[in-house]
Chains A and B, each alone.
Chain A
């Protein structure tokens, strides 16, 4: 054989008449040889050539699509011969045919009587002259007129089902003089352009738009929806010619409509004077237990389409038929619709003979009885093997099996195939498998097929928990009491899941339920709630973040801190949405989670050790691939800004989560999970998240994260004049070149990503022996510019050391910069000066260990340190949390965001850097509220900040697809507002008031000393003005208390 791959490239002359003739002859010889007399070697060669010819000359896509045909056995299955319900391939392997050619083989393969009639007709006259009258066609039309329901009397014959539908559409348009059609969602009527317009599936339709004008789609089985469309169409004068439906939707998985559906369709069509077209291509000729599908409901359509089985499974044949009244519109010009080959004598002979078989063997009766039997048996299997078969549907022998997941469906299809049972099941659509055998299939074969199906079901592994638990959520929460040393598992509360989504919201709800707002944060009575989001552990991009909610030892407020990496997904795979931890262990412990096995174990060996070593130890102890949340010495010593780390360089940085772990003697939480996360419909979910990824995430808005990561903000903030420099003295750093994106890129040796994130914003850097993932923008600025350490290597050291010790680089940088200022101002000598890297690195272990006088001082954090030394105006903070690296004096919106954030100065609640006018307070107040609500929802879905364009619509679409129930963008916005109000209530009860929604004097009293905003401050009155507007817009009173009406609107009135 020639290799076309090479020769096609040359040009048009790639013609080889000799080979064409030789190969054609060869195949004719094969055809002329009786099937069993072709030697096996020759047949093997045919099998191999067939795969090659499909690849090179039909469509290589089929080979990949029909995976079960090409992969599960040594050689591809090549059609050879068959009889009845048994198909034999070229290598003499027998297959039980349950597919029946999608309804083609209703009489079995090669029914002897049909074959005999066609052969005889072949010897008489295979085609007609086109001029003389053709007796067979005329007789067949009469026979069908006698068989069909109602007044149907005339017929037109064509070759394929889609042609019948095309003809029916033309007839309807011609008769009514209107252009519109109502078709059904998920309906299937063929793939030629006219019939395709009726198709109820996006995948075949969308790429070919525009199709016929005036086609509307409504859900199948809902006659009211049809009526609404007809009424609306009439009201706007865009009238409908016909309603088109399959009696039972075949392609959609044998969907049977409610019993009143077809009679109602008839009524509605009569009322509006619209034709009713029944597409019986698949359901006709006995398939559903009656001669025609509509007979099940005694409804006579105006036009009836037939195909598939009409040709007896021998010759292609289709027809559309209608009443004398309607047909009359074709009489003036019978050439309005003609075909050369449709209804040829061979086809008519096949159809006439097939009809005799249909009636004499009572195939409809057989289908009715066998169909009932098969459905009963399948329902038995459904009960015996839970978690495999979700639904059994159908009528007569048009039966659909719907599996719990596509994966199971695919495995069943492949398993059946390897057991010699032919069904249709493909990689992309295996959730539904049709069971559509010959109507005269012998009972023994039917039982044999059912036995083999059961054999396959036996081998299907139903992964842990899929049978029972909900979609997306794991459905369980771990409750750990460290004082009592107990661990209990409870179902995640469904009413909270609905109102608070997951992540931040759900954690806050659990936390508020557990903890008195007045609690001492470091006492055993305080709780930690760790929570994943519903999308966590799936392919939804950036969904792996994990939240912690508690009362902060640093600010005394409720706070939320989240972390990327892979801990969250691992927790979900172990089967938990989150963990509630209370009490205090007597000795250092860690929480060890391995699926259902959860224990509190001794952590003595690593107490006092850094995060890096602890993590390694845990992986050795718990097993490879274990993911952990750990604390370093800073957390153990309850430094109020100690963080919780994971994967070495990722941190729950802000608010002091590490100190809370330390206060509970909890060194770490370590988890390994082997379970899975289920979604309502994998195909739909996959489609939605892929669309979200491509159309929303991987767009210009967010791709900076992939190309540069956060260091790109160094240049941006300097340009805007809001880059905190020298302890928030200036707004630009003249030495920023050493710390910008280019510099970081020059030492980058690899990209890093959190689980499931295609952005991969992490820059793994290496310089003179220091390796770290980072530094991120906040570290570059607060640990670099703000301390005037314009030296990337030293900032990398600072970053790595903070990560190991478990210190928040932001608060640490802010506090050290303050100490530098106090030293240089002569207030107190901490031995720390701006730009002196050696000293600032030296002090880190002292802070984490509280081992020296200055270490203990700095461990107070900026706010308390500045008070201790009588210089409160020197510290930049809000509610005691050191300020992030966006100076609010150059963007008042950030000021309002910091002042109103529940956890103190935080840039992750609202972010107004891109505001058109950074000082226009009316716009900014609105932007801050919108940002806060939206982010509250976003952190509750646990998506990443860097998916900046993740709006509520995109988020709602992903959730809806995963959960299989409708979630709207409005629901998410409301949830965001609810969460924001709930944390506000907590803080109010904890004793915070409007007077705490302020910024430190550094911002309100001192002006910026450099940059475009030099001389500008954000004075207190301006802030008060913004706050008043903000409270008003939030529905809060002048003291910042949510009003009753607002609480009632959000369903928070009883809290």
Chain B
């Protein structure tokens, strides 16, 4: 069983340390706009939803890429071969979660789980991001999150759509004390 990057929105404080860490590791500077994961903050509702790449079992991005630049490696990680990427943006449109974006040159980038040691998880002090092999309960949680697919708008809109769906569910089922995910 592969390890997955799992998200527990109820525990997220919205501090964005994961995002800062990601950009530092991947870009060498603190630049959230180029991070491979994002936090959708809803401060008024006191809620935050991390957006991460699910490394889907059947990745839409992989199917969308005509160049064969996206593949799943032997450990189940969906990665981009930048050398083969032509910058067409089909994968960006293809990903229903908004987790692939492009540099100014067009080259696409996404989460690669830092080779099995995600920097974001190490910076999460509230357990909102966890990297582990999911049990049945966690698989269900992941499955529910993955259901919130969106085809409209840019990467940002899709992430927001998923985050709002999760937020609404959390608000609809009133959070009570002790309900921390």
A74 engages B71 (CB within 8 Å):
yes
A residues in contact with B105, CB < 8 Å: 459, 461
Cβ of A918 to closest chain B Cβ, rounded Å: 34
Count contacts between A and B, CB distance < 8 Å: 176
Do residues A750 and B71 form an inter-chain contact, with CB atoms below 8 A?
Answer: no
Q: How far does the alpha carbon of A418 sit from the alpha carbon of B28 in the complex, in Å? A: 20
Query: Given A408-B28, A676-B23, A677-B31, is A70 in contact with B15 using a C-beta cutoff of 8 Å?
Result: no
Asked whether any CB of chain A lies closer than 8 Å to the CB of B73, the reply is yes
Whether A418 contacts B83 by the Cβ 8 Å rule is yes
A19 to B160, CA, bound (A): 54
A67 to B79, CA, bound (A): 12
Structural contact, B32 and A427, CB atoms closer than 8 A:
no
Within 8 A of A (CB), among B15-70: 15-17, 20-21, 23-34, 41, 43-47
A751-B126, A753-B15 are contacts. A463–B29 as well, Cβ < 8 Å? yes
In the docked arrangement, what's the CA distance between A625 and B98, Å? 15
Report yes or no: B81 in contact with A747, Cβ–Cβ below 8 A.
no
| A445 shortest CB reach to chain B, Å | 19
Residue of B15, B26, B45, B180 with most chain A CB atoms under a 10 A cut-off: B15
Contacts of A415 in B (CB 8 A): 82-83
A463-B27 CB under 8 A given contacts A419-B83, A749-B176, A750-B10: yes
A760 touching B125, Cβ below 8 Å: yes
Number of interface residues of A (CB under 8 A): 76
Asked whether, in the complex, the Cβ of A746 is within 8 Å of the Cβ of B177, the reply is yes
**Interface-side segment among B89-97, B114-122, B143-151:** B114-122
Whether A405 contacts B16 in the complex (CB less than 8 A), given A76-B74, A750-B10, comes out as no
B100 on the A face (CB < 8 A): no
A410 with B104, Cβ < 8 A, contacts A76-B74, A418-B81, A755-B15 known: no
Q: Answer whether residue A684 sits at the interface, using C-beta atoms and an 8 A cutoff.
A: no
Does chain B have a CB within 8 A of A612?
A: yes
Cβ proximity bits B108-140 to A, threshold 8 Å, 1 near / 0 not: 000010111100000101100000000000000
Of the candidates A404, A463, A648, the one whose C-beta lies within 8 Å of that of B34 is: A463
A71-B73 contact in complex given A612-B44, A748-B177, A750-B10, C-beta closer than 8 Å: yes
Chain A residue nearest to B44 (CB atoms) is A648
Q: Is the CB of A649 within 8 A of B43?
A: yes
For residue A51, which residues in chain B have a CB less than 8 angstroms away from its CB? Answer: 74
Verify B30–A539 contact, CB threshold 8 A: yes
Partner of A67, one of B115, B126, B156: B115
Any B CB within 8 A of the CB of A573:
yes
Looking at the assembled complex, report how far the CB atom of A395 sits from the nearest CB atom of chain B, in whole angstroms.
Answer: 27
Indicate if the CB atoms of B46 and A750 lie closer than 8 Å. yes
Q: Is the CB of A75 within 8 A of B74?
A: yes
Find B117's partner among A48, A64, A461 (CB 8 Å cutoff). A64
CB 8 Å contact bits of A811-842 with B (1 = contact, 0 = none)? 00000000000000000000000000000000
Query: What is the distance, in angstroms, from A490's C-beta to the closest C-beta of chain B?
Result: 23
Interface string of A70-102 (1 = CB under 8 A from B): 111111100000000000000000000000000
Q: Which residue of B lies closest to A673 (CB)?
A: B33
Interface: A1006 (CB within 8 A): no
The interface residues of chain B lying within 8 Å CB-to-CB of A71 are 73, 77, 79, 112, 115
A624 touching B156, Cβ below 8 Å: yes
Verify B27–A407 contact, CB threshold 8 A.
yes
**By the criterion CB–CB under 8 Å, are B116 and A64 in contact?**
yes
B175 on the A face (CB < 8 A):
yes
A766 sits at the interface (CB 8 A)? yes
Cβ of A406 within 8 Å of any chain B Cβ, yes or no, is: yes
Bound Cα distance A566, B39 (Å): 12
Closest to B109 in A: A461
What distance in Å separates the Cβ of A679 from its nearest Cβ neighbour in chain B? 7
A562 within 8 A of B: no
Determine the residue in chain A with the shortest Cβ distance to B33. Answer: A674
Contact with A along B74-89 (1 / 0, CB 8 A): 1101010111100000
Closest to A75 in B: B74
Cross-interface CB contact of A539 among B24, B117, B177, cutoff 8 Å:
B24
Q: Give the complex CA separation of A573 and B19 in angstroms.
A: 13
**Is A675 engaged at the interface, CB distance under 8 Å to the other chain?**
yes
Selected A-B contacts with CB under 8 Å, 16 pairs? A51-B74, A70-B75, A71-B115, A73-B81, A74-B73, A408-B28, A418-B83, A419-B83, A539-B30, A566-B16, A673-B33, A676-B30, A749-B177, A755-B15, A756-B20, A766-B174
Residues of B with Cβ closer than 8 Å to A?
A: 10-11, 13-17, 20-21, 23-34, 41, 43-47, 71, 73-75, 77, 79, 81-84, 103-105, 107, 112, 114-117, 123, 125-126, 156, 160, 174-177, 179-180
User: What is A's interface to B at a CB cutoff of 8 Å?
Assistant: 48, 51, 63-65, 67, 70-76, 404-411, 414-415, 418-419, 427, 459, 461, 463, 466, 537-539, 565-566, 569, 573, 612, 615-616, 624-625, 647-649, 673-679, 682, 686, 698, 706, 745-758, 760, 762, 764, 766, 771, 773
Known: A65-B115, A461-B104, A750-B13. 4 other contacts (CB 8 A): A71-B115, A676-B30, A750-B180, A766-B176
Top 9 A-B residue pairs of the complex, sorted by shortest distance between their CB atoms:
A407-B28, A405-B28, A676-B31, A764-B46, A753-B13, A753-B15, A647-B43, A67-B115, A674-B33
